[in-house]
A and B are shown apart, each in its own frame.
Chain A
């Protein structure tokens, strides 16, 4: 029996840093593409495009476009609209080719089509938030992947809207907060505030308890094809986070166990969204805090960007309380998600 060859549209030789998890994320997502679907990739300016598309070489073997930084979602909308109308008018190049090729390729006319957008956290949380919101509100069945390395990496690790508290970046040198009252931004909740969203999830790579979490969610993303889908994926950056290039998976394990990176998803059911926890860290077992289990220092201690934070007990306490509140506080993950395991 021949095994299905996994869909891998990226060749090797791309210019990402050694140990970068971004391309693993992309490959994991794309491997979930069903055979009956054609895709076009839109990438926002950032590490991913610079690693895979420097003229005259490209790592891509499927259509891809890069236009500018903030409007990846809008470019996706334009491509989708073009596909719709060209199919209707009988001018889709692939439909024409398939028809011309006759009987054997009949199955290729009218094939499914998705646009997949890859954008970093900088392009999503900050400059691209408006265009993303527009796309989500319009209800277009685009798959939006935010690969989140917590900073503007390609330009040299400046802080973004996704940078955690007190992390050292090029623009927060001493780990200083951007402002004393700085809070975080919750991309999932922002996304789910758009009623047309049909599926949204937080996931990441892992060899830990949920090794296939990302693959399952990729399959779900493709399966939910009636509206917008967003996946928020943490992609550790050795250069930006300050860890040995070999350690990404160890750090991800810690991220999951300490509650820093929740694994959960939400689906549109009826008029609203139902959230499901995909993993419950032991620290929050039973919906209760077990403070001695997997404190956040396990995650923070392995990365140079938290060196300043670890020197200050008040910042550390602040960080830990924030994580715990995210899980156990009012409208926290425990409260708003369906009971774990149900």
Chain B
């Protein structure tokens, strides 16, 4: 597919372009918004014309907790930006982690999605992006490969995703992106800078495109809590203590899943030992912050996947090594099989 279909022009008189980054903590996306602003600021310095671009970046605060989805909003524009209100519809949405929920909120069929995934059509169907344009790049794999070359275990997909992202804006050149990456990582040493620039380059070159407009790709439903009228609320916004936070299935935050060791690496358990290492000592039950280790008849029988955040404490405290950790994406795949 010609990627000209995926371009948004930034010219004098065109409205500002709004995009939102969806990521989790520890994926390197904390500063992506300000990097975009720096990129546009550099343009201003280098250009001879009076106005050659403005940008804004605003992080979203709520309960700022690690693992909980983080969002950053960016606006870029040729003319000066005058409003900091949230747009109702975003022109672009960048999804760094396909397990994040609610990413199709505030979008329409013209919204372009940039996704950290192998194949754009597959991911569009898998997470329900609707009949839209999707750019996919396997950013995590690129990051792991490039960082391994310099002996680092880092897996941050941010720079590769940014490389794919700039396909949308001919106004931004890859060199400008590399310059801002260099600027951001200069404190970490040349190796790290170069590795990140390579990630961005590969992200740009290996991006795949899928124009789903007019196709039958369905859009995922978003379960937002009902918004109350003022007279439906108790005075002082008090609530009855019903514990209704259990509607919040924090299991969706999970990027790694605890697995009973007898399911995993079974061939490594020496013959003669019991099939499972678990002795039902209940230490994991006592130490689980979400209290989501399931017990029946005084035996540990499983994990409550609705709430397990994948912190791994159970894996750490088990004296018998009976709990292992599997990456969530793999676990989800294995579930399907």
Contact = CB atoms under 8 A, between A and B. Distances in A.
Establish whether A and B are touching in the complex (CB under 8 Å).
Answer: yes
Interface in A45-68: 50-52, 54-64
Contact of A61 (B63, B243, B248): B243
B239 A15 contact: no
B297 interface: no
B304 interface: yes
A59 B291 CA distance: 13
Specify the main secondary structure of chain B where it touches its partner: loop
A14 B63 CA distance: 10
B248 A56 contact: no
A24 B287 contact: yes
Contact of A56 (B63, B225, B304, B317): B225
Contact of A57 (B62, B66, B247, B313): B247
Given A15-B65, A23-B289, A246 B244 contact: no
A246 B316 CA distance: 6
A245 B247 contact: no
A19 B283 CA distance: 15
B287 A207 contact: yes
Contacts of B228: 56
B239 A11 contact: no
Contact of A247 (B245, B248, B304, B316): B316
A18 B313 CA distance: 9
A249 B66 contact: no
Contacts of B63: 15, 50-51, 54
B289 A20 contact: yes
B221 interface: no
B292 A18 contact: no
Contacts of B315: 246
B109 to A, nearest CB: 31
B82 interface: no
A57 B309 CA distance: 19
Contacts of A238: 66, 311
A239 interface: yes
Chain B interface: which size bin?
35 or more
A301 to B, nearest CB: 16
A12 B241 contact: no
Given A207-B283, A245-B66, A61 B289 contact: no
B125 interface: no
A124 B161 CA distance: 43
B250 interface: yes
B97 to A, nearest CB: 14
Contacts of B316: 246-250
Nearest to A240: B66
Nearest to B284: A207
B152 to A, nearest CB: 16
Contacts of A17: 65-68
A250 B68 CA distance: 24
Contact of A207 (B25, B243, B289, B317): B317
A183 to B, nearest CB: 31
B310 interface: yes
A93 interface: no
Interface-central residue, B239, B306, B325, by most chain A CB under 10 Å: B239
Interface string B192-235: 00000000000000000000000000000000010010000000
A58 B313 contact: no
B307 interface: yes
A150 to B, nearest CB: 16
Given A15-B250, A248-B313, A249-B287, A63 B66 contact: no
Contacts of A18: 66-67, 253, 289, 309-311
A62 B309 CA distance: 25
Given A17-B65, A61-B241, A61-B243, A12 B307 contact: yes
Given A18-B309, A62-B241, A13 B289 contact: no
A58 B317 contact: no
Interface string A67-102: 000000000000000000000000000000000000
B64 to A, nearest CB: 7
Nearest to A64: B241
A20 B316 CA distance: 14
Contacts of B248: 13-15, 57
9 contacts: A13-B246, A13-B247, A14-B250, A17-B66, A27-B291, A59-B243, A239-B25, A245-B312, A250-B316
Interface of B: 25, 62-68, 225, 228, 237, 239, 241-250, 253, 283, 286-287, 289-292, 304, 306-307, 309-313, 315-317, 325
Closest 5 pairs between A and B when the two form their complex, measured CB to CB: A246-B312, A18-B309, A19-B311, A11-B243, A18-B311
Given A23-B290, A59-B245, 11 more contacts: A11-B245, A14-B250, A16-B289, A17-B67, A18-B66, A18-B253, A18-B289, A54-B62, A58-B244, A245-B312, A249-B316
